[in-house]
Amino acid sequence: MTDWSTPRVSPVPLRPREVSLRERALDRTSPLRQLDWVLLLAVSVLVAVGGLLIWSATREKEIALGLDPQAFLKKHIINAVIGLALGCAAALIDYRSLRAYAPIVYGASCLGLLAVLSPLGSTINGAHSWIVLPAGFQIQPSEFAKLAIVVGMAMLLGEKRDGESGPRDGDVLTALALCALPMGLIMLQPDFGTTMVFIFVILGVLAVAGAPARWVVGLLVAGVLVGGFVAPHVLKDYQLDRFRVVANPTIDPSGVGYNTTQARVAIGAGGLWGKGLFQGSQTQGRFIPEQQTDFVFTVAGEELGLVGAGGIILVLGLVLWRGLRIASQATDPFGRLVAAGVVSWFAFQSFVNIGMTLGIMPVTGLPLPFVSYGGSAMFANLMAIGLLQNVHMTGREL
């Protein structure tokens, strides 16, 4: 019989055990053990390959201008380092406080987008989506707005409710209303590509949140209708021409069709093994405009061939696959929705970017995640990966 009255005393003094740093790092619950290393490795490969491609695409021009041939490569590395720091912050930040920060992120993004439309904004390469800061820095708020939309949607739709399988109509409407403001601001720039990314992120999050099928299908149909009937009246002629070129690549090869034709020639000429880094005649002859940003994939196509360019697609696929794995293993709806939103974002953007270089999608100003040159995009992308890691570490349904 147990003597319940006798207090149980530990044979050893009850005070926190001294744990070494090494032990802490290797503990089951430490971030290093909890990280999704495959995801991190895949993203690192993309960033590294991106650096090589950007270097190849910009080298000749910089030499011609008498500048440092590695200038873009160096800036890409700096962007990646800053992005890594931001990503770590996003990964290690407390989950609950992240939800508290969501409204701030959202508000800041909307303010940024507003600033773009104000006299602070400026037009670079035909897109009015930049804020030029002193000391040669530029910010593209729409990249951060993608992040804000993902977090904001996840917060609104990820509230736990008992006995419900998903958000109700009211929640959906609230979420849509939330998105309407930044979307409207982006359409005013106008940035058609980013608008489309928003629509796909919204669709992805709504779907995974378990919103009624009528909403998902309804939005999809509405999107198609808007694209098919409203867009031709709203879009400017040059934007419509980008669609016409996809249908008929031979129209006006020196005008609208120039980019797509040159891009296809570069990729096609690469063949199975490619011409070798720095050896592509299309790339080194600078036949493709915007090659280090939107058309960076053509460098891979020409110089690395099917092996290299196909490899990039497969590594991107690996990133998406790990993201979906994180979504399905997440223990709480918020984390799952963040992961779903990030995957939708990267999936759509990768498809449109690579698709346009292959001539199956219209030309839009969307960069290839992790690979293209560009600070704002790199920061936003790596922060999104940080969020995925955060969800991964917080808890898994095994």
Partner 1 sequence: MSDRSRLRIVVLRVIVVAILSTLLGRLAYLQVAEGATYRKAAADNRIRAVITPAARGQVLDDRGVALVRNRTALVVSVTRSILRSEPDRGADVLARLSKVVGVPAEQIALAITPCGEKLKNGDIASRKTGCWNGSPLQPVPIKSYSSDHPAEVRRVLAIEEHAEDFPGVQARYAAVREYPHGSLGSHVLGYLGPLSEEEVAKAAYKDRPSGSLIGRAGVESVYDEQLRGVDGVQRLVVDKDGTVTGTQGTVEARAGDNLVLSIDSGIQQVAEVALAKGIAAARARYDRLRGKNFTANKGTAIVVEVGTGRIVAMASNPTYDPTVFVGGISTQEYRTLSNDPGQPLLSNATQGMYSPGSTFKVVSTAAAVEAGNPLLGSYPCPPSFKVGNRAFRNFEGEYFGTINFRTTLVKSCDTVYYKLAYEQWLADGGVKNSSRAREVFPNEARSWGFGTKTGIDLPDERSGLITDRGYKQRLWDQTKQVKCARARNGYPEVAKTDPTRAAYLHLLAKEFCTDGYRYNAGDAALFAIGQGDVLVTPLQLAMAYSALANGGTLYEPRLAKGFLSADGSTYSALAPVKKGKLASTPAVLAYMRDALRGVPQPGGTAQTAFAGFPFGQVPIAGKTGTADVQGKAPISWFASFAPATAPKYAVVVMVPEAGTGGTTAAPIAREIYDAMYGFGGKKALLGPGGVLPSGLPVVRPDGTIAPPGTKVPKPAQRLLPTPATSTRALGGPLPWAEAVRRRSGGPT
Span from 47-55, 112-120, 191-199, 283-291 in contact with partner 1 (CB under 8 A): 283-291
309 counts as binding partner 1 under rule CB under 8 A? yes
Is 76 or 392 the residue whose CB approaches partner 1 more closely?
Answer: 392
Cβ–Cβ contacts within 10 Å for residue 17, how many?
6
* Structure tokens that stand for 185 in this block: 């601001």
What character string, x for contact with partner 1 (CB under 8 A) and - otherwise, covers 78-117? ----------------------------------------
Instruction: Give SS3 for 168.
Output: coil
Span from 2-10, 96-104, 297-305, 385-393 in contact with partner 1 (CB under 8 A): 297-305
Is 146 or 336 the residue whose CB approaches partner 1 more closely?
Answer: 336
**139 backbone φψ class: left, alpha, beta (φ>0; ψ -120 to 50):** beta
Angle between helix axes 333-357 and 257-270 (nearest 10 degrees) is: 90
Q: What is the 3-state secondary structure of 127-153?
A: EEEEEECHHHCEECHHHHHHHHHHHHH
Return the residues of window 243-282 that contact partner 1 according to CB under 8 A: 262, 264-272, 281-282
Strand partners, 124: 127
C-alpha distances (whole Å) from 61 to each of 33, 71, 389 are 44, 11, 38
220 counts as binding partner 1 under rule CB under 8 A? no
223 counts as binding partner 1 under rule CB under 8 A? no
| Contact of 46 with 316, CB cutoff 8 Å | yes
Span from 9-17, 131-139, 233-241, 308-316 in contact with partner 1 (CB under 8 A): 308-316
Q: How far is the CB of 17 from partner 1 (least distance, A)?
A: 36
C-alpha span between 345 and 197 (Å, rounded): 6
Which spans of this chain sit near partner 1 (rule: CB under 8 A)? 165-166, 204, 207-210, 262, 264-272, 281-282, 285-287, 301-302, 305-306, 309-310, 313-314, 316-317, 320-321, 324, 327-328, 330, 333, 336, 340, 343-344, 347, 350-351, 354-355, 358-360, 397
